Amino acid sequence: MAEAKKEETTTHKIGIYLWIWGLLFVLSFFSYMVDWYNFQGLLRWSLILFFMFLKAGLIMAFFMHLFWERYALVNVLLWPMTAIACFVGLMVAEGKYTVFSRLFYFFVGGA
C-alpha cells in the first residue's frame, strides 16, 4: 500500500494532475451552466454548493497534496473549520433576525 502510494507520488503524478485539471474545467463548466439555465431556489443553491465543495476538495486534495499528507497535518488543517461553520450558521440566523426586525419596525410599523 505504502509502496504503491510512493510510486504514485513520484512517477505517475502527471496523469493525476491532468485528470484533476480536466475535472476542474468540467466542474467549473457545470457550475456555469447552473447560471446559464437559470435554475432557481433550493436546486440552485445546492448545485452551487455541491460544485464549489467538490472543486475546493479536488484542489486541496491533489493540487495541494493534502491527499498524500499524513493525517496529523490534515486534521490540524481541517478541524478549525468547525469554528467557521459555527460562525456561518449563527450569522445566517442573525441576518434573518436583522431583516425581520427591519421590516417589522420600519415597514410594518412595529408592535
Partner 1 sequence: MSDTDLDKLPGGFKGMSEDIGSDQTTFKGVNWGKAMMWIFLLSDTFVFSCFLIAYMKVRASVVEPWPYPSEVFALEMMGVPVPLLLIAIMTFVLITSSGTMALAVKYGYEKNRKMCGWFVLLTAIGGLTFVGMQAFEWSKLIFHDGVRPWANPFGAEQFGAFFFMITGFHGTHVSIGVIFLFIFARKVFRGDFDTGKRGYFTTMKSDYVAIEILGLYWHFVDLVWVFIFAFFYLW
Partner 2 sequence: MSDELNINKKRNNQIKTKSSATSGRGETDIDYVRPAELPEQDLYHGHSFITKWIFCQDAKVIGVQYTLTAVFTGVVGLILSWMMRMQLGFPELFPFLTAETYYQMVTMHGMIMVVYLLTALFLGGFGNYLIPLMVGARDMVFPYVNMISFWMFFVAVVVLMASFFVPGGPTGSGWTLYPPQAILEGTPGSGYGILLMLISLSLFVIGFTMGGLNYVITILQARTRGMSLMRMPLTIWGIFTATVLALLAFPALLVSSIMMTLDKVLETSFFMPTIIKAGEALSYDGGSPILFQHLFWFFGHPEVYIVALPAFGIVSDLISVHSRKNIFGYRMMVWAIVGIGALSFFVWAHHMYVSGMSPWFGFFFATTTLIIAVPTALKVYNWILTLWRGNIRINTVMLFCLGFIVTFVNGGITGIFLGNVAVDVPLSDTYFVIAHFHMVMGIAPLMVIFGAIYHWFPLVTGRLLDEKLGKWHFWITFLGAYSIYFPMHYLGFIGVPRRYFEMYDSPYMTSAVGMNEFISVAAFIVGAAQFIFFYNLVKSLRLGKPAGKNPWKANSLEWLTPDVPPTHGNWGEKLPVVHRWAYDYGVPGAKEDYITQTTPPSEVKDAEVEKT
Name the one residue in this structure whose C-alpha cell is 465543495.
53
The cell for 19 is 485528470
Name the one residue in this structure whose C-alpha cell is 450558521.
89
Number of chain residues interacting with partner 2 (CB under 8 A): 11
Q: Which residues contact 61 (CB under 8 A, 6 or more apart)?
A: 67
Q: Which residues within the stretch 10-39 sit at the binding site for partner 2 (CB under 8 A)?
A: none
Which residue type, as a one-letter code, is found at position 65? H
Q: Which stretch binds partner 2 (CB under 8 A): 7-15, 30-38, 62-70, 82-90?
A: 82-90
Q: Which of partner 2, partner 1, none does residue 7 bind to, with CB < 5 to 8 Å depending on kind?
A: none
Q: Does 56 bind partner 1 (CB under 8 A)?
A: yes
| Count, residues in the chain | 111
CA 103 and chain centroid, separation = 32
CA distance 26 to 71: 29
Q: Does 26 bind partner 1 (CB under 8 A)?
A: no
Among 8, 14, 40, 42, which residue interacts with partner 1 (rule: CB under 8 A)?
14
Q: Which of partner 2, partner 1, none does residue 86 bind to, with CB < 5 to 8 Å depending on kind?
A: partner 2
Among 46, 91, 103, 105, which residue interacts with partner 2 (rule: CB under 8 A)?
91
Q: Does 35 bind partner 1 (CB under 8 A)?
A: yes
